[in-house]
Amino acid sequence: MLTLRSKMPIYGTAERLRVSIYRSNKFISAQAINDDLGQTLVSMDTRKAKSPTIEESRKLGVEMAAKMIAKKIDTIVFDRNGYRYHGKVKAFADGLREGGIKF
């Protein structure tokens, strides 16, 4: 039986923000969240692309990493929201690592 629930809740702090990803049939969106304050510091999505591919997801990760590095964020906790770690979710995470973000 496939379950969407993770074993433990993922929580982000000021030192290690939580990057939460949402994947719909058409788009991918991601947010860097400080759960202590309830603030979203960086958010991006693929709504500009007509039909985002795996390559577009990787580029989104690299662009988000650049914005996070500009705000002096270099370590995160990755929250995949129950999505399997493959395809566009994996490409996004690889793009973040490529951009210099540590998990």
For residue 26, what is the domain's CATH number? Answer: 3.30.420.100
Could you tell me if residue 2 is inside a domain? no
Q: What's the number of domains the chain is made of?
A: 1
46 close to 24: Cβ distance less than 8 angstroms: no
Could you tell me if residue 42 is inside a domain? yes
- Put residue 55 in one of left, alpha, beta given phi > 0 → left and psi -120 to 50 → alpha: alpha
Could you tell me if residue 65 is inside a domain? yes
* Helix, strand, or coil (residue 30): strand
Whole-number pLDDT of residue 70: 96
Could you tell me if residue 79 is inside a domain? yes
Q: What residue numbers bound the domain in which 57 lies?
A: 17-98
CA distance 5 to 103: 20
Q: What does pTM read for this prediction?
A: 0.86
- Put residue 34 in one of left, alpha, beta given phi > 0 → left and psi -120 to 50 → alpha: beta
- 22-38 pLDDT tens trace: 998 889 999 999 999 99
- Tokens 């039986």 correspond to 1
- 62-80 pLDDT tens trace: 999 999 999 999 999 999 8
In 10 A of CB 71, how many CB atoms?
A: 11
Could you tell me if residue 9 is inside a domain? no
